[in-house]
Structure 1
Amino acid sequence: VRSVGELMENQYRVGLLRMERAIRERMGSVDIDTVMPHDLINAKPAAAAVREFFGSSQLSQFMDQTNPLSEVTHKRRLSALGP
């Protein structure tokens, strides 16, 4: 059994590895003397991995905010299923 933090860490690691691969590819195609860090680094792969985790994981779900009663019911349902 893995904790939520561990699952999140694994997803973020995947995003960082994708970002590293993209940076290495860019470093091979640009002039090292004139390149700036912001020209190489693109944080979108890491952000996409986090977004994917929260969008598709069984551990996250959208809260029903139709009205205050549905919000309370949703929170109780989550409490009954576990933390």
Structure 2
Amino acid sequence: MLLRTDIHTLFDLNLLGIDPESLRIHLHPRIKGSEYERFDGKRLACEAKLLSKEALELRWNAFQERLMLVVGLKRSGEDL
């Protein structure tokens, strides 16, 4: 998948996730309020058949796991 370099870095760091079903972009709370907020909730401008659903699912699961870590930290009172 071809993404702008900075956005691809966020994707690699699981700070930006792509829902494999809707192809919508989701941001990690750590980068909400940043210049990338304008992408939150936007749908990728490509056909789903051009992407590997399996690869997107793996990355989506990693993104979701990172989000769960944040929820756990918030519940325990720790800082992000």
Q: Same fold (TM over 0.5)?
A: no
Which has more helix, going by share of residues? 1
**TM-score, length-scaled by structure 2:** 0.30
Which has more strand, going by share of residues? 2
**TM-score, length-scaled by structure 1:** 0.29
Q: Between Structure 1 and Structure 2, whose CA radius of gyration is higher?
A: 1
